[in-house]
Amino acid sequence: MEQLFSYGTLQSEEIQIQVFNKLLTGTADQLLGYKLKDLKIEEEFGMEDYFVAIPSENPQDAIKGILFDISTEDLDKADLFESKSYKRVEIILKSGTTAWIFIER
């Protein structure tokens, strides 16, 4: 099993069905030392507003999200879903769990 931390779109049940063809189960967690930044991504019908995790100079900053247990196959699906504006890296969450996260490229 893989661990994936989501702070945005992949928390949506609608998106989970679209990407994974099922609903994911997860637990609340936090990513310390990061903050969110606005990000505009060009999509089929124009520019869309999203946000992306970036390292913060303040170690007290935290991003709340959901930690999902997923298969390697599902992790590959998440890679395909995320745009080229993101990259996947491993991080350590407040809980001490090592997980994948999509951050600014």
Domains of the chain: 2-104 (3.10.490.10)
Q: Is the pTM of this model over 0.85?
A: yes
Residue 14 pLDDT grade (very low, low, confident, very high; cuts 50, 70, 90)? very high
Q: Which two tokens stand for residue 29?
A: 């967690």
The residue type of 104 is: E
Closest CA to 63 of 24, 16, 103, 23: 103
CA angle 41, 50, 34 (to 5 degrees): 120
pLDDT digits (tens, 9 = 90+) for 21-71: 999 999 999 999 999 987 665 555 555 667 788 899 999 999 999 999 999
